[in-house]
Every structure is written in structure tokens, then in C-alpha cells.
Amino acid sequence: MPIRLERIGSVAVITIDEPATRNALTGVSARELLGCLQQAGDDQTVAAAVLRGAEGHFCSGADRALLAAATQRPWDPEVIADLETIYESFIRLASMPVPTVAAIRGAAVGAGVNLALAADVRIAAKDARVLSGFLRIGLHPGGGHFSMLDRLCGPQATVAMALLGEEISGDRLAQLGFAWEVVADAEVEARAVELASRLTDAALARDAIATFRAQAQSRQLPAAAAVRAEQAAQLVSFARATQP
């Protein structure tokens, strides 16, 4: 199974388990991710959720085969459905009814950055690599990338990372506000679970995060609106990539 859901006390731990591709997202894995997020969200005994990647990698973005299909057949309904499922996974994570923590080891690239950004809190390894990567492969950023990155890191960092291709790692992840904390690689997942496990009263945690999300929407573009704002431009960039 490309996605696993486990429980550690009051915490749902969701693992992307596609190590051969460094946990790249496919239509299949994104659908399973949606299902696990839904299951964790519906379970009233869950107070928080942690998202991690298997074998020391967070998420290397959308699967290369899917990206190739999107540039070759951007009109294909199956391709569009797979991309839509990946977009929906960002929206679902960003609107979870419990606080969420992303445990970032290895690389977070492209869609993997979006997944990290959609979490409420990020714990990163000192040697984790965060790379927007969209323009490097000739694509317009998608999935609410600009809005979520700007919200956390500000406009200058957003342009440097999303447009100019700057990769960030180490303490700079925390300095820019991308990560709450930067720790040794071996400590990332334990720290993320420890932080999430502080929430033991699931009902209270859910009430509190609902209040936070309602208040935050007054100063942030909702996740669904951010995704849709970029969707058309990204799809056009897939079609443009097919031209000689």
C-alpha cells in the first residue's frame, strides 16, 4: 500500500510509502492519501495527525510518469483526474479537523513542498532539502504553491524559491518560517509525534483548530481558492510543454 495509517495514542500517523520514487505522488497514492486523511478526520478519537514519508524521504513531488503524461496528453481525462486528486490532497490536508504536523526528512520537491505547506506545523531535518522545482521543468507552480509559500515565508522568499529556484535547507528553513523547528534527521519523526501527542483531548483539539481555521481565513486565501487560482495556469503550462 502506498499510504499507511497508524495510531500512536491520540495521533494518526500517515506515511507515504513509495521509497522507489522517493515518495512521489501518483493518482493512486493521492487517492489513498485522501482516504487516510478522511479516515483520520472522521475518527473522533484522533486529536492530531502527523504526515511523514517512508525511508527518510518526505515527498519528491508528482510522479515523473504522471508529469510526462500531463505534458504529452494534457487533455486526457485520466491525467486530469489524477492531477485533480493530487490538488485535492493539499486541500484536504489544509482543512483537516485536527492540527497537523509534517515530518520532513530528505527532500520535499514541487508537490511535496505543497504537502508540507498544507500542514499546520513542520518539523524538518537539518539536512532536509526544500525545492519548489516547478519552473526548472517548465511548469507553472500549482496546488496553491504561491499563496501557501507567501503566507509562511513572505514575498521575497516566495519569488526566490518558486521563481528563481533557490533551494533551502538547514537552519534557514526555520529562519524563513517554513519550519517550526529544525532537528537532527534521526529525531524528526519522534519530535513531530511528541509535539502532536500533547493533544489528548480530541474534542477540545477539534474545537480549537476549527476556531483557528475560521479566524485565519480572514487573512489567508482558503486552500481551495489558492489551488484553483493556479490550476488553469499550470494546466496551460503542461500543454505548452508539448510544443516544439
pLDDT tens for each residue of 89-104: 999 999 999 999 999 9
**pLDDT 10s digits, 144-181:** 999 999 999 999 999 999 999 999 999 999 999 999 99
Let me know the angle formed at the C-alpha of 13 by 11 and 18, rounded to the nearest 5 degrees: 175
Evaluate if residue 55 carries a pLDDT over 70.
yes
Count Cβ atoms below 10 Å from residue 64 Cβ, excluding itself.
13
> For the CA atoms of the chain, what is the radius of gyration?
17
Q: What are phi and psi of 108, to 5 degrees?
A: -120, 115
Res 236: pLDDT: 86
For residue 50, what are the CA distances in angstroms to 13, 15, 55, 108, 139? 5, 8, 16, 16, 29
pTM of the model: 0.93
User: What is d(CA 30, CA 186) in angstroms, rounded to the nearest whole number?
Assistant: 26
Res 242: pLDDT: 64
> What is the tally of helices (H) and strands (E) in the chain?
10, 9
Query: CATH classification of 3-206+216-241, choosing from 1.10.10.350, 1.25.40.420, 3.40.190.10, 3.90.226.10?
Result: 3.90.226.10
Of 12-26, 30-44, 84-98, 204-218, the one with minimum mean pLDDT is 204-218
